[in-house]
């Protein structure tokens, strides 16, 4: 079985939420206080989101951040 990349999975889920709400990366970066280049890198899965960043992004998008990490613990077992 191949290695599961939780960083990429979370990034895809966060970005899918962003896209479904039609929020530009620049706007989300500004509203969340996460530097744009950092947010872009994390949305591509090149770096991990911190728990705090997921909470802030969830607040900005009015999304429960638990949906982005749901099922990952089971997949790692």
Output the tens digit of pLDDT for each of the chain's 77 residues.
344 589 999 999 999 999 999 999 999 999 999 999 999 999 999 999 999 999 999 999 999 999 999 988 765 55
- Which distant-in-sequence residues (6+ apart) come within 8 Å of 43 by Cβ? 11, 14, 15, 18, 25
Alpha helix stretches (DSSP H) within the chain: 6-20, 25-32, 36-43, 51-61, 66-69, 72-76
Q: What is the pTM of this model?
A: 0.88
Contact 57, 67 (CB under 8 A): no
What pLDDT score was predicted for residue 62? 97
Superfamily of domain 6-69: lambda repressor-like DNA-binding domains (1.10.260.40)
């Amino acid at each position: 079985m191949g290695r599961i990349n939780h960083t990429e999975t979370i990034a895809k889920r966060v970005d899918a939420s962003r896209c479904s709400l039609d929020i530009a990366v620049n706007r989300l970066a500004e509203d969340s206080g996460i530097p744009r280049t950092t947010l872009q890198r994390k949305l591509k899965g090149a770096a991990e989101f911190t728990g705090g960043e997921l909470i802030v992004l969830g607040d900005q998008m009015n999304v429960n951040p638990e949906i982005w990490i749901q099922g990952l613990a089971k997949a790692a077992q």
